[in-house]
Chain A
Amino acid sequence: MPTPMRKAKPVIRWGSPSMSETSTVIAHQFDDAEQQREASTLGMWVFLATEVMFFGGIFLGYILYRSEYSIAFAAASNRLDIWLGLINTAVLICSSFTMVLAVYNAAVARRRALQTNLLLTILLGCVFLSIKLYEYHMKFEENLVPGAAFAFPAPHAPAAEIFFSFYFAMTGMHAVHMIIGIGLLGGLLFRAGRGRYSPEYFTPVELVGLYWHFVDVVWIFLFPLLYLVGRHL
């Protein structure tokens, strides 16, 4: 049996266990719970860096075309429903709020509050997706979905179609990430119900929280870039 040689650091940090970690399962490759938590957290931040690059690529495309076709992009953006976009932004911000409350409640051992906040986050996420779906449906009805059926007033049509290509691609990728997040939250909710999380071990809640907030940050940039172009015109 290899003897663990890493010593737990004496400083008590956020979420670090200060008593025996009987409720924590330490994977065999780790020496102690703190190493496991640090590694998992770093892993999630590295993953989020990859996500920044993933969305970043399509943001670059958007920036390039907007700089070239600023008038057409403004005309196209004005066809988006600003109120639905605004409501969705508020919904996501609320869901981030309930998410941090969930993490907080896990840390202070309030299981019911943890479950409630996870559930609220899921529900708010579903509200967001429903509104998104409705928006997509409206765009379909208005012939603003790129492809054969796309129709837009004359001089701006090609560039507007590019705008809507980016609109659907960017919000679509974002929605896929939301769906995955809701799935992860569902998993957390299930395990929270089984009492898997405690102040000594709530790392998965923290990490899903990081992911969820990141998806929120993406929308924080998507909203002004897609919905608020040239509204003053």
Chain B
Amino acid sequence: MSAAQTTPRIHYLNVSYGVRSWLVTTDHKRIAWLYLLSITFFFVIGGLFAVFMRLELLTPEGDLVQADTYNKLFTLHGVTMVFFFLIPSIPAVLGNFLVPIMIGARDLAFPRLNLASWYIYTLGGAFTLAAAAAGGVDTGWTFYTPYSSIYSNTHVALTVVGIFITGFSSILTGLNFIVTIHKMRAPGMTWFRLPLFIWAHYATSIIFVLGTPVLAITLVLVALERLFHLGIFDPALGGDPILFQHLFWFYSHPAVYIMILPAMGVVSELIACFSRKRIFGYDFVAFASLAIAVIGFLVWGHHMFVSGQSVYASMVFSILSFLVAIPSAVKVFNWTATLYKGSISYDAPMLYAMGFIGLFTIGGLTGLFLATLGIDVHVHDTYFVIAHFHYIMVGGAVMGYLGGIHFWWPKMTGRTYPEGWARLAALIIFIGFNLTFFPQFLLGYLGMPRRYHVYPPEFQVLNVMSTAGASILGVGYLIPLIYLIWSLRYGAVAGANPWLAKGLEWQTSSPPPTDNFDVAPLVTEEAYAYADAEGETGHPLGKPVDV
């Protein structure tokens, strides 16, 4: 059902045509699309590695692939998903698109740097793909030394160079966001009127900027050790493999907060809009984002409880890990309180947001089990850990990402997606996800180690359930891919504010003009200034409305 106007209006998508106009663009909105295509590509690649892993795990014997091959599969699955999908996903796509618009600016502070970030990301991705094509790497995405630096016979150097390069993409994006948020807010947009999405991305950018460089130098050292036979991490020469782990996890733990904070920012936006209510405890949620970013830098040793790390340091890291759960819990409480007496509608974005809250809570609580020294000794390096982080990264971050993509799809494209199919897909994803990963908690607790392609026969039932769940999850991911592409051409034309949401992005047209606003915004109200729960205009929610 198309709207009355097939508009000849100029906006950021039709202002210029041709591949070249896209490849040299400095428009943050177009760069967001470039990232969307790249990360979707890597998501598919990472997913394919997972497919082979789950197929192998259907049977207790190692009958599909050899052990070495399996090692490469889980390594590449981890490397692709972490560095080339999850870390960029929300910040590089939704963040790039929305940060300037939400604060009322024309673009980010450094648009050319933004484009450079995408090219750097692509270059790093090319290196890593080349390593995969040349035979892959088998060290695990964690690259523990001295196996990665000395003994592995796979393409370690090529892979770490790829990740090193991509790291700069992260750093520059974070730098861009920080400067933009500090210096380019519209008049009236004070810090405490900012959408929580912005607070989340600011906190994420702090981590980008202060954590990623440590990963960079760590990978340099691994590459140097490998290429020049140095011996920095080699115990036979007096080196300390645990030093590598400290350096690696100093980044890689905060990295998980890079993956979840933006999703939390999305969830705040979705909960507010689909409850027609201000986020309960806005200040607390804003400060909780910062607290997660800061405290998140103090806990990395909880990945090293059984590595040979001093038990005293382990105790300190354990306590600090309990502490970091608190701001996350504060957010969950506040979202729940927002729902209370809200006018709730169950559009697809809201389904993803609610799924996020439930699954993130489960993942987060199991994190507390892992932070407990005694329990961790039992479940470290088992499927319990794998289930824990997939609940957070897939049940949390990916669902936040999908919810955000659906919510802002009308703004980005000027089209609406088919709501029925979207709700169905959300449901399938939810079911598939839980069927895939809940059995893994049980497997881990019962003792099945991670990174093994053979296992005792008594674990087969749970593994089969997990693989079955993965196939359902795969179908669930495929459906939005299809209807979102379909909607670009056949979806109903969207107005400026189909969700009747608050926020500067909804006060400009869909899609926005290149400079985001026809008139420079002046902010006069608080964030999420929704009317009382009964609603203000009586418009039915969830239907596209030409505003």
Asked if A and B touch directly (CB within 8 angstroms), the answer is yes
B231 contact from A27, A64, A158, Cβ within 8 A: A158
Contact A53 B213 (CB under 8 A): yes
Contact B232 A28 (CB under 8 A): no
Cβ of A46 under 8 Å from chain B: yes
Contact A28 B224 (CB under 8 A): no
Residues of A within 8 Å of B178, CB to CB, are 42, 46
Cβ of A171 under 8 Å from chain B: no
Cβ of B285 under 8 Å from chain A: no
Residue in A closest to B215 when the chains form the complex, CB atoms: A57
Question: What separation, in Å, do the CA atoms of A58 and B220 have in the docked complex?
Answer: 10
Contact B213 A38 (CB under 8 A): no
Contact A54 B105 (CB under 8 A): no
Cβ of A20 under 8 Å from chain B: no
Are A46 and B179 also in contact (CB < 8 A) when A4-B520, A159-B238 are? yes
Residue in A closest to B516 when the chains form the complex, CB atoms: A2
Question: What separation, in Å, do the CA atoms of A146 and B230 have in the docked complex?
Answer: 6
**B240-256: contact bitstring with A at CB < 8 Å (1 yes, 0 no)?**
10010011001000000
Contact B228 A146 (CB under 8 A): yes
Interface stretch, picked from B30-38, B181-189, B360-368, B476-484, is: B181-189
Question: What separation, in Å, do the CA atoms of A165 and B210 have in the docked complex?
Answer: 25
Contact A148 B243 (CB under 8 A): no
Cβ of A65 under 8 Å from chain B: yes
Are A35 and B171 also in contact (CB < 8 A) when A55-B217, A161-B231, A169-B220 are? no
Contact A28 B520 (CB under 8 A): no
Cβ of A47 under 8 Å from chain B: yes
Residues of B within 8 Å of A53, CB to CB, are 210-211, 213-214
Question: What separation, in Å, do the CA atoms of A56 and B210 have in the docked complex?
Answer: 11
Contact B183 A165 (CB under 8 A): no
Q: Interface residue tally of chain A, by bracket?
A: 35 or more
Residues of A within 8 Å of B292, CB to CB, are none
Q: Taking chain A's interface residues, is the majority helix, strand, or loop, or is none over half, making it mixed?
A: helix
Are A57 and B183 also in contact (CB < 8 A) when A147-B230, A162-B237, A162-B239 are? no
Contact B520 A3 (CB under 8 A): yes
**B12-56: contact bitstring with A at CB < 8 Å (1 yes, 0 no)?**
000000000000000000000000000000000000000000000
Q: How many residue-residue contacts, CB under 8 A, span A and B?
A: 126
Contact A39 B109 (CB under 8 A): yes
Residues of B within 8 Å of A133, CB to CB, are none
Question: What separation, in Å, do the CA atoms of A54 and B108 have in the docked complex?
Answer: 25
Question: What separation, in Å, do the CA atoms of A68 and B175 have in the docked complex?
Answer: 36
Residues of B within 8 Å of A2, CB to CB, are 106, 515, 517-520
Q: Taking chain B's interface residues, is the majority helix, strand, or loop, or is none over half, making it mixed?
A: helix
Residues of A within 8 Å of B269, CB to CB, are none
Contact B515 A5 (CB under 8 A): no
Residues of A within 8 Å of B175, CB to CB, are 43, 46-47, 50
Residues of A within 8 Å of B246, CB to CB, are 60
Cβ of B505 under 8 Å from chain A: no
Cβ of A173 under 8 Å from chain B: yes
B187 contact from A6, A42, A57, Cβ within 8 A: A6
Contact B217 A57 (CB under 8 A): yes
Question: What separation, in Å, do the CA atoms of A42 and B110 have in the docked complex?
Answer: 12
Contact A5 B187 (CB under 8 A): yes
Cβ of A90 under 8 Å from chain B: no
Residue in A closest to B110 when the chains form the complex, CB atoms: A43
Identify which of residues 153-184 in chain A touch chain B, using a CB-to-CB cut-off of 8 Å.
158-159, 161-162, 165-166, 169, 173
Q: Which 9 A-B pairs have the closest CB atoms?
A: A54-B213, A57-B217, A29-B107, A53-B213, A158-B238, A165-B230, A57-B214, A39-B183, A2-B520
B residues in contact (CB < 8 Å) with A: 100, 105-111, 171, 175-176, 178-180, 182-184, 186-187, 209-214, 216-218, 220-221, 224-225, 228-232, 237-240, 243, 246-247, 250, 515, 517-520, 522
For the complex with contacts A29-B107, A65-B243, 16 further pairs of A-B residues with Cβ separation under 8 Å are A5-B186, A39-B109, A39-B179, A43-B110, A43-B179, A50-B209, A53-B210, A55-B217, A60-B247, A61-B243, A68-B240, A69-B238, A146-B230, A161-B230, A166-B232, A169-B232
Between-chain CB contacts (< 8 Å), 15 pairs = A2-B517, A6-B187, A29-B105, A29-B109, A43-B179, A51-B213, A53-B213, A53-B214, A57-B214, A146-B229, A146-B231, A165-B230, A169-B220, A169-B224, A173-B220
